[in-house]
């Protein structure tokens, strides 16, 4: 008998709890802090930290999500030689010849020409001189990338116009032009 009463009470409790819940209002929350966290303004105050600031300086050696890896080679002759010897195109199977060609067409053709022979429109109009034929130079992945990053003599840097991935697509296209 006791068991029956116990079951009835249990059932009644379940009915009471479930039937009272209104889908549109929030029901009882255990550990509300987990669901409704206290948020801080980025540059607001926070007594938790020694300097009283909510914003944190990122841990050393970390990169923000989506940020590019820093380019470690310096803009010197030595940096150029080091990049030329060591840096390799990381894209491998992700090389997309169509994209490389299109990007090259936007950023490089004006001086270097479609075929990379150094006869772009700006050269024909004598706005730029000394643009080489790629085939006449000994070029490696690293050295092409380095020149895109920093420029060289009359050629300006293109680092701010291109993402890391785009630069490497172009590097692959320059090789393509050299080999054909
Ligand atoms: C405004 C004209 C101009 C544009 C645009 C330009 N270049 Fe150049 N580029 C030059 C000139 C001039 C040189 C010769 C630099 C030298 O060796 O004195 C050169 C040299 C090079 C070299 C040879 C570097 C070496 O180590 O000998 C490469 C590779 C190159 N450019 C790639 C590119 C790529 C890739 C782009 C597009 C992202 C590009 N250039 C855009 C003018 C340009």
The widest CA-to-CA distance across the chain, in whole angstroms, is: 106
Which atom in ligand 1 lies closest to the alpha carbon of residue 174?
A: 35
Residue 152 has pLDDT above 70, yes or no: yes
Distance (Å, whole) CA 148 – CA 107: 10
CB 64 within 8 A of CB 58: yes
164 contact partners, CB below 8 Å, separation of at least 6: 68, 69
CB 165 within 8 A of CB 174: no
pLDDT digits (tens, 9 = 90+) for 138-151: 999 999 999 999 99
**Per-residue model confidence (pLDDT) at position 157:** 97
List pocket residues of ligand 1, CB cut-off 6 Å: 107-108, 110-112, 122, 128, 130-132, 137, 139, 143-144, 147-148, 152-155, 158, 170, 174
Residue 48 has pLDDT above 90, yes or no: no
Distance (Å, whole) CA 38 – CA 45: 13
pLDDT digits (tens, 9 = 90+) for 77-135: 999 999 999 999 999 899 999 999 999 999 999 999 999 999 999 999 999 889 999 99
pLDDT digits (tens, 9 = 90+) for 49-72: 888 988 888 888 888 887 888 899
CB 71 within 8 A of CB 149: yes
Which atom in ligand 1 lies closest to the alpha carbon of residue 162?
A: 38
pLDDT digits (tens, 9 = 90+) for 72-86: 999 999 999 999 999
Ligand 1 centre from 139 Cα, in Å? 11
């Amino acid at each position: 008998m006791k068991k029956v009463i116990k079951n009835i009470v249990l059932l009644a409790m379940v009915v009471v709890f479930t039937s009272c819940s209104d889908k549109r209002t929030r029901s009882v929350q255990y550990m509300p802090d987990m669901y409704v966290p206290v948020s801080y303004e980025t540059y607001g105050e926070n007594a938790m930290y020694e300097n009283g600031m909510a914003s944190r300086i990122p841990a050393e050696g970390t990169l923000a999500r989506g940020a590019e890896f820093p380019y470690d080679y310096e803009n010197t002759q030595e940096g150029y030689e080091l990049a030329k010897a060591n840096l390799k195109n990381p894209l491998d199977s992700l090389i997309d010849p169509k994209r490389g060609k299109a990007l090259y067409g936007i950023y490089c053709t004006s001086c270097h020409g479609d075929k990379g022979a150094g006869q772009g429109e700006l050269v024909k109009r004598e706005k730029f001189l000394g643009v080489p034929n790629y085939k006449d130079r000994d070029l490696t992945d690293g050295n092409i990338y380095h020149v895109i990053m920093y420029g060289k003599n009359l050629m300006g840097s293109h680092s701010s116009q291109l993402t890391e991935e785009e630069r490497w697509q172009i590097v692959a296209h320059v090789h393509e032009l050299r080999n054909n």
